[in-house]
């Protein structure tokens, strides 16, 4: 695949290219520091955005809703299948 000429790149492509070149020129220690910095800043930003979970989205409520949906008169889903699914649902959602 031939190289894309610089004159045919958009300004966004040029800035991405410049960032990639700067990353390739970094030493191992600089790369490790950069990745750690990006990770911790993203982790800190995520901590600030965490919102409390409403009660209706609790794992127990989700489990109850799934079991209720399964217990409706759906052909092929009986008490035996619900009994088999209950531990799986509780493991994943509660």
What is the 3 state secondary structure string of 46-80?
Answer: HHHHCCCCCHHHCHHHHHHHHHHHHHCCCCCCCHH
Determine contact, residues 89/66, Cβ cutoff 8 Å: yes
Regarding whether 65 and 42 lie in a shared domain, the answer is no
Say how far apart CA 58 and CA 63 lie, in whole Å.
9
pLDDT tens-place string over residues 3-39? 778 788 899 999 999 999 999 999 999 999 988 998 8
Regarding whether 29 and 61 lie in a shared domain, the answer is no
- Number of domains into which the chain is organized: 2
- pLDDT cut 90: percent of the chain above it: 24
Regarding whether 43 and 69 lie in a shared domain, the answer is no
Print the domain residue range for 70. Answer: 55-93
Lowest mean pLDDT among 18-22, 56-60, 79-83: 56-60
pTM reported for the whole predicted model:
0.41
Say how far apart CA 62 and CA 42 lie, in whole Å.
29
Mean pLDDT of the chain: 79
Regarding whether 41 and 18 lie in a shared domain, the answer is yes
């Amino acid at each position: 695949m031939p190289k894309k000429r610089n004159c045919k790149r958009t300004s966004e492509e040029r800035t991405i290219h410049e960032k990639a070149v700067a990353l390739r020129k970094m030493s191992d220690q600089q790369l490790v520091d950069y990745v750690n910095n990006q990770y911790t800043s993203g982790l800190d930003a995520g901590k600030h955005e965490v919102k409390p979970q409403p009660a209706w989205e609790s794992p127990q409520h989700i489990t109850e809703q799934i079991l209720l949906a399964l217990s409706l008169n759906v052909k092929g889903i009986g008490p035996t299948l619900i009994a088999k699914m209950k531990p799986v649902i509780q493991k994943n959602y509660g």
